[in-house]
Structures are given as structure tokens and as C-alpha cells.
Amino acid sequence: MELKKLGKEMLRHFQSGVSYMIPLVTAAGLLTSIAVIFGGSGVWDQTDTFWGVVRMIGQTGLNFIVPMISGYIAYSIADRPGLAPAFITGMIAKEMGTGFIGGMFTGLAVGYLVNLLKKMPIPPQIMTLKTLIIIPFISTGVVGLVLWYVIGTPISAMTESLTAWLNSMSGANAILLGAILGGMMAFDMGGPINKIAYAFGVASFTSGGYGASTAMLLGIAIPPLGMFLATLLNKKLYTAEEIENGRTAMLMGLVGITEGTIPFAVSDPIRVIPSIVVGTAVSGAINGAFNITQQTMLSTFMAIPFTSNPVMYIVAIAVGGLVTALMVKTLKQINFKGGNVKEES
């Protein structure tokens, strides 16, 4: 029971770290994407052109993903004393090539160690030194050394193997990966499962695993699209407010925001959540089946012009949205037997 509680607690801290990371990814990812769109794929090796410089600025931001995850996981656990040691050890994790998994380890390790050190008895005369010197010194040194000599090498090897596997994925494996990432993106719409898939996709993008990042980014707007279509298929199953929420969700989806689906999931989780998970998984599977990739951080609709196969990418979006809408409609009709549940205004 205690282990289960610890697992939930760690997941919550991880979610917090990813939440702080999202503005960084948005700014840096968009700059990198715009540079690739207007400057071509050659900008990855340039700093002597305008778009090469824009790419460099964006990529510099992406390089901070691991230390930022580390820092804010530790911040979630131990508050401000955890920030500096976690940023430092997160940078070491990044340089060692451990990816976001290394950032998770250093963030958790620093956070819990700092909390332990806070309880360390110390004379009142040097209490200030405890916060300013002793805690950051010990936590940075201990976690940094453990990372370098014990944990870092296995994590780096695992990350490299995972990246190689992602880059080599084709056929059935790519279909499965796309389906899993799609389902995870839809499951809790910005919650911890969504953020794990998001972090995984971003890590893949930064290491050239565009199949995984494309599937993750594709999944962002399928749930709001599906619920918008569901409100059109049978308006009798929805209140006037829900129909308006469907329009709002669609607008949010167009600019890459999944959370517009949350009101539907909160009011009817048993029917809505399985439907959006299945629909988004289908989109990801279709994307994987045709090995569609795009080298930007743009989501769903905005990415269409930059995909390797725009026609089938649009098909993946449309099929996922329709599967979601039809599944929601079917489940609601089974429950209400076609009855009118719409509130009169």
C-alpha cells in the first residue's frame, strides 16, 4: 500500500515537472519548427543564415528540457532548496545522454535527499548555512556522483537503445507505437499519462525519432475533434451547453490544445474517455502504418503541410475523429436508448 502511495506521489511530481517544461517546449519548439519550415532541413547545421540562427535559438531552448524537468520535479518535492542541485545534476544527465529519464532520476533523487537533509539537526548559529551551503553542496555532490558512477551509464545505454529502436521502427511496430502514444495522449487530456507521452515524444524529436514525435503531436487534437463531431451526429444526446463546449473544444484543438475535451470527460467519463482513447489510438496507428513523419513541433492540424504524406495524415485525423464520435454516440444511445437527454433552455 505504501509503495502504491509512493508511486502516485512520484507521478504527481513528474507531472509538475513536465507542466513547467511545456512553455519551454512551446517557445523553443515553435522557433525550431519555423526555422525548418522556412529555411529547410539544412538549417540544422547552419548558424550563418537567419533561419539557421532561429534554429539555433530554438534548439538551445530544447537543450534545457532535461535540466528543467529535473529542477521542477525537485521543486515539487522539496521547494526552492531542490532547484539548484537538480538543475546542476540535470545538466550532467543531459550531457551524459540519459534523456528525460535521467532528468526524472536526478529530480526525484535530489528532491527526496533535500527533504531528508532539511530534517538534519544543526546548531541554530549556523542554520543559515544549512540552506545556503550545506544542503545544496551535499545534495549536488551525492546525486551527481551517483549519476556519474552508478546510474548514468545504464540509463544512457537504455536511452540510446530506445532511440535506435524508435528510428528503426516500421510496419507493425510503428503501428503499435503510434496507437500507444495516441491512446496515452488522449487518456487524461493534459494529466500525468498525457505528459509522459508528451515528454517521450519531445525526447524522441530532439534525438531525431520523428515517428514517435509525429504520433504524439498528431494525438493532441483528435479528442476535441471527435467530441465536436459527436455533438453534430446526434444533438439530442447533448445539452445546449455541451454543444457550445463542442465548438469551443474544436477551436482549441485547431491551435493544439487537448483540454477542451475535459468538460465532456468530467460529465460522462465512462463513455467519453474510452472513446477518445480508441479514436486517438486509431489515428496514431494509421500514422504509423504509413510511416508518416514531420520534422516540426506543430500539432495535428497545423502540421498537415509539413508531413511526409499529407493526404494519409489527413485521413488519419479524419478517421480518428469519426471513430471517437461514433463510439461516443453508440455508448450514449445504449445507455439512453435513444432518449432525449437535452436540457430545455
Say whether both 111 and 154 belong to one domain: yes
**Does 323 share its domain with 240?**
yes
Residues 70 and 192 in one domain: no
Same domain, 232 and 261: yes
341 falls within a domain = no
Contact 328, 227 (CB under 8 A): yes
pLDDT of residue 205: 83
Q: At 238, phi and psi to the nearest 5?
A: -135, 150
Provide the pLDDT for residue 343. 43
Q: 344 in a domain, yes or no?
A: no
Range of the domain at 274: 172-336
**345 belongs to a structural domain:** no
Side chain identity, residue 113:
L
Please tell me the distance from the alpha carbon of residue 149 to that of residue 153, in angstroms, as a whole number: 8
Same domain, 216 and 100: no
**Structural domain tally of the chain?**
2
Domain end call among 111, 135, 167: 167
With vertex at residue 252, the alpha carbon angle to CA 34 and CA 312, rounded to the nearest 5 degrees, is 65
Question: Chain centroid to CA 53: how far?
Answer: 26
Q: Alpha helix (H) ranges present in the chain?
A: 2-39, 50-62, 65-78, 83-95, 99-118, 127-129, 135-146, 152-167, 172-187, 192-206, 210-218, 222-233, 240-254, 262-267, 269-289, 310-336
Same domain, 160 and 181: no
Percent of the chain with pLDDT over 90: 39
Low-confidence ranges of the chain (pLDDT < 70): 1, 41, 44, 159, 162-172, 190-192, 335-345
| Whether the Cβ atoms of residue 284 and residue 182 lie closer than 8 Å to each other | yes
Do 145 and 190 belong together in one domain?
A: no
Please name which of 64, 68, 62, 67 lies closest in space to residue 31, comparing C-alpha atoms.
Answer: 62
Work out the angle between the directed axes of helices 135-146 and 99-118 (0-180°, nearest 10).
140
Of the residues 102, 137, 167, which one is the last residue of a structural domain?
167
Last residue of a domain, one of 144, 167, 190: 167
- In this structure, the answer to whether residues 18 and 159 fall within a common structural domain is yes
Q: Give the pLDDT confidence of 310-330 residue by residue, as tens digits.
A: 999 999 999 999 999 999 999
| Residue 150 belongs to some domain of the structure | yes
Same domain? 258 vs 183: yes
The amino acid at residue 44 is W
Around 98, how many Cα atoms within 13 Å sit in the side-chain half-sphere? Answer: 27
Judge contact between 41 and 79, C-beta under 8 A.
no
d(CA 314, CA 317): 5
**CA within 13 Å, CB half, 8:** 5
Q: What angle do CA 304, 307, 311 make, to 5 degrees?
A: 65
Helices (H), ranges, 119-221: 127-129, 135-146, 152-167, 172-187, 192-206, 210-218
- Can you tell me the distance from the alpha carbon of 280 to that of 317, in angstroms, rounded to the nearest whole number? 8
Look up the pTM and report it.
0.65
